[in-house]
Amino acid sequence: MNEHIFSALNLLKCVRQETDSIGVSVSFGKDSLITLDLCCAVFPRVEAFYLYRVRGMDIVKTYSDYVRHRWNVCVKMYPHFDLCRCYRHAVLQPHWQGLSEVPKISMSDIENDFRLIKNIKWIAYGWRRNDSLSRALIMKNCAGYDFANNRVFPLRAFTRKKVFEYLEKRKIPLPNNFGRKEQAGLDFHPQALKFLKENFVDDYKRWITDFPFSEVQLQDV
């Protein structure tokens, strides 16, 4: 375990040589919380942002409050860039008037706005090379330190087992997995929607307001 932490801290210390501040993309999943914890151990100033699909969710506020209380980091909320696709193509919602005029926003647009507002250059992500083939290729190309795009991936070498060991070691509560084997945030996955409906009724009502056809996702769950 120690070698994984040592490797992660080394990557962050490379960034620390250039700046005393860093941003963290948080999903409130286990990987992003570990990334935040490591960044707070290295940098005097840490900022964070979260991408939501539905604004004002109680469960998101609960996690945001936890981050603020534990790490003294306030999480800035941004609409998820995927919402552009959802609204333009009426995903799980009626073809409301004006949907085709919804502007296209990319992850880079959000990053750049966050950097400008928070005066941050580097952003840390909780990506691991065994998450997917695409992430494995990214890690192989940059070795966890993406100088060209000012991104750093301190957990690149972590395995799932090491992630759980770190959570236990640092007494970070295991985040909600929303009814799935792996936590993947609040999205359109049927298990996530089912969990929301059964456990966070008010949040599910908010979700249905924005995406009223989401009930269709639950028919076979």
Q: Is residue 133 part of a domain?
A: yes
Q: What's the whole-number mean pLDDT along residues 76-95?
A: 92
For the domain that residue 121 is a member of, what is the CATH number?
Answer: 3.40.50.620
More confident residue, 25 or 183: 25
Q: Rounded CA gap, 26 and 34, in Å? A: 10
User: Which residue range(s) make up the domain with 147?
Assistant: 2-176
Strand pairing category for 123-124 and 145-146 = unpaired
Q: Is the dihedral of CA 27, 31, 33, 35 positive or negative?
A: negative
pLDDT tens per residue, range 169-186: 999 998 877 766 665 578
213 inside domain: no
> Distance between CA 65 and CA 125 in Å, rounded?
20
Nearest to 214 by CA among 59, 60, 94: 94
Domain membership of residue 6 (yes or no) is yes
Ramachandran quadrant class, 28 (left: phi over 0; alpha: psi -120 to 50; beta: rest): left
Q: Within a domain: residue 17?
A: yes
**Number of domains comprising the chain:** 1
pTM for the full model?
A: 0.92
Rounded to the nearest angstrom, the gap between the alpha carbon of residue 117 and the centroid of all alpha carbons in its chain is: 19
Is 64 within a domain?
A: yes
Residue 73 lies in a domain: yes
**How high is the pLDDT of residue 60?**
94
Q: SS3 for 9?
A: helix
What number is the average pLDDT over the span 140-148? 87
User: For the residues of 63-79, what is the DSSP string, one character each?
Assistant: HHHHHHHHH--PEEEEE
In a domain, 86, yes or no: yes
Q: Is residue 189 part of a domain?
A: no
